[in-house]
């Protein structure tokens, strides 16, 4: 069932004269001796043998299947040559299975010869053991129920033996470890019995109870199974490529958000640290509220870029050391709408832009820019509002000192239901109640680093 690709070259059978044989060569020799001994023993015991035309036909199917492998990894391929080998094992016994297996790999007889010898012997031995198991189950009674059990057992034994030999070869060649190889082929082994056993059962039953010419139908299921393997591999590759593309998109989205905050930091040194802390607080609140992973990631990214609209404010407004006048405050309040306009121009940032626009709305409808009340405010915007307000109160500015955490939390509680969502405030309080001092003050050293490491699924939330 399994085979190595041509770029996985096994060393020749022997080194130059006088040099020590490689372990893989010794192993191939041992397999060859075991195969020959088993074949001779079966012949001596007059083991039943299929008609020559059947052996040649099944061998031709196996050989053709070997020409169309499906690659599963850099070192592993699968083929459906297992089907004719199993058919011979169940219908005619171990000696016929060995013959079909050997014919199937005749066309592969080329350097490196140790590779060919190893896999030919592996196929022959696995087919023989499958045939012996099938003969034991059948016991001369080819009833449908016994054929079903024999087919399933033969498929399992063949796959397990092939996997075991493959694991040993990988280990001897130093190209991997036994456990890793077995983990790779485990899904194939699990799928072998339900995929192949019913096909073998029907073919053997038809051959023995309907007509020998039903064997000609073998080609259809054999290559249908091959196509299934091919489709499985293509789907797996497509899925892997999609995951890689999503990962690149996530990294690009976070890099873009970080670049935006860096641009804002060039104007206001306070903002970058504030945005990182708000991002972490917002994500933790979303987790506490039991929101989906996508919502948690959205809250984190929105916290990171919630103040980006401040880059569009007039020069000197952010840098002003004292309190703002009423007109200056009105200009400052434009930053959420400016942030929306900036982010709305970025692909996949439409929902982020919407959240950023409304992160200064109030539950009583007296916020800005659109005076949305209560449930009309996006839930992530309500989360950002609480995280933003808390970090702003607990951070020092040139014109005022930072509030103690207990005071800021008290003010959040006072404003719950009017300015802030009560559920969000309660969730944040539950987080802060057991938090460290550095977390409470937004000064934990890893806040900025953590903000840059969080995985994002922007495409899925936009």
pLDDT in tens, 96-152: 999 998 898 888 788 788 888 988 898 899 999 999 999 999 887 778 888 889 888
Mean pLDDT of 11-27: 58
Q: How far apart are CA 27 and CA 359, in angstroms?
A: 70
According to the model, what pLDDT value does residue 370 have? 95
With beta carbons less than 8 A apart as the criterion, state whether 52 and 88 touch: no
Indicate where the chain has its CATH 1.10.1760.20 domain(s): 2-210
Residue recorded with tokens 């060859």: 32
Write the pLDDT tens digit of every residue in 49-91: 888 888 888 888 888 777 655 554 444 455 667 788 888 898 8
Mean pLDDT of 30-38: 92
Indicate where the chain has its CATH 1.10.3210.10 domain(s): 249-315+325-461
Q: How far apart are CA 235 and CA 231, in angstroms?
A: 6
Mean pLDDT of 224-234: 57
User: Across all residues in the chain, what is the average pLDDT?
Assistant: 78
Place 462 in a pLDDT band, splitting at 50, 70 and 90. Answer: very low
Write the pLDDT tens digit of every residue in 398-432: 667 889 999 999 999 999 999 999 999 999 999 99
More confident residue, 271 or 345: 345
- Residue partners of 138: CB distance under 8 A and separation at least 6: 90, 146, 147, 150
Place 326 in a pLDDT band, splitting at 50, 70 and 90. Answer: confident
Fold of 249-315+325-461: Hypothetical protein af1432 (1.10.3210)
Residue 38 clears pLDDT 50, i.e. is over it = yes
Q: How far apart are CA 185 and CA 236, in angstroms?
A: 15
**For the structural domain made of 2-210, what CATH number should be given?**
1.10.1760.20
More confident residue, 306 or 346: 306
Residue 259 clears pLDDT 70, i.e. is over it = no
Mean pLDDT of 245-249: 56
According to the model, what pLDDT value does residue 460 have? 31
According to the model, what pLDDT value does residue 455 have? 37
In the chain, % of residues over pLDDT 70 = 71
Q: How far apart are CA 457 and CA 86, in angstroms?
A: 47
Per the structure block, which two tokens stand in for 268? 């206001």
Place 433 in a pLDDT band, splitting at 50, 70 and 90. Answer: very high
Mean pLDDT of 157-161: 85
* DSSP label at residue 16: S
């Amino acid at each position: 069932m399994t085979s190595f690709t041509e770029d996985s070259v096994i060393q020749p059978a022997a080194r130059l004269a006088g040099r020590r044989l490689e372990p893989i060569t010794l192993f191939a020799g041992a397999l060859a001796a075991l195969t020959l001994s088993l074949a001779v023993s079966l012949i001596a015991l007059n083991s039943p043998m299929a008609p020559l035309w059947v052996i040649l036909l099944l061998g031709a199917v196996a050989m053709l299947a070997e020409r169309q492998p499906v690659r599963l990894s850099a070192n592993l391929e699968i083929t459906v040559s297992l089907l004719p080998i199993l058919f011979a094992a169940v219908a005619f016994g171990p000696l016929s299975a060995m013959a079909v297996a050997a014919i199937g790999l005749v066309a592969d007889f080329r350097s490196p010869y140790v590779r060919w010898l190893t896999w030919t012997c592996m196929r022959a031995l696995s087919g023989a053991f499958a045939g012996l198991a099938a003969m034991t189950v059948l016991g001369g009674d080819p009833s449908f129920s016994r054929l079903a059990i024999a087919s399933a057992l033969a498929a399992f034994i063949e796959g397990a033996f092939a996997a075991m030999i493959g694991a040993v070869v990988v280990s001897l060649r130093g190209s991997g470890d036994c456990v890793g190889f077995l983990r790779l082929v485990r899904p194939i082994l699990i799928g072998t019995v339900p995929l192949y056993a019913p096909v073998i059962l029907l073919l053997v039953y038809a051959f023995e109870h309907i007509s020998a010419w039903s064997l000609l139908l073998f080609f259809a299921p054999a290559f249908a199974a091959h196509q299934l393997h091919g489709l499985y591999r293509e789907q797996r590759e497509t899925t892997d490529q999609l995951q890689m593309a999503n990962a690149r998109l996530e990294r690009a989205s976070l890099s873009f958000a970080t670049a935006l905050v860096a641009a804002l930091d060039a104007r206001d040194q306070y903002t970058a640290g504030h945005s990182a802390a708000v991002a972490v607080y917002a994500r933790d609140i979303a987790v506490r509220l039991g929101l989906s992973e996508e919502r948690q990631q959205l809250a984190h990214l929105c916290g990171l870029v919630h103040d980006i609209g401040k880059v569009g404010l007039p020069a000197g407004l952010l840098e002003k050391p004292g309190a703002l006048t009423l007109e200056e405050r009105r200009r400052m309040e434009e930053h959420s709408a400016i942030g929306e306009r900036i982010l709305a121009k970025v692909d996949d940032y439409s929902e982020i832009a919407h959240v950023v626009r409304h992160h200064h709305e109030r539950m009583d409808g007296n916020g800005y820019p659109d005076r949305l009340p209560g449930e009309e405010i996006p839930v992530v915007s309500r989360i950002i509002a609480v995280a933003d307000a808390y970090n702003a109160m607990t951070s020092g500015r040139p014109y005022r000192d930072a509030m103690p955490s207990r005071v800021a939390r008290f003010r959040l509680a006072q404003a719950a239901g009017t300015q802030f969502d009560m559920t969000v405030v309660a969730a944040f309080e539950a987080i802060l109640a057991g938090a460290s001092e550095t977390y409470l003050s937004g000064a934990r050293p890893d806040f900025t680093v953590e903000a840059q490491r969080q995985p994002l699924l922007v495409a899925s939330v936009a």
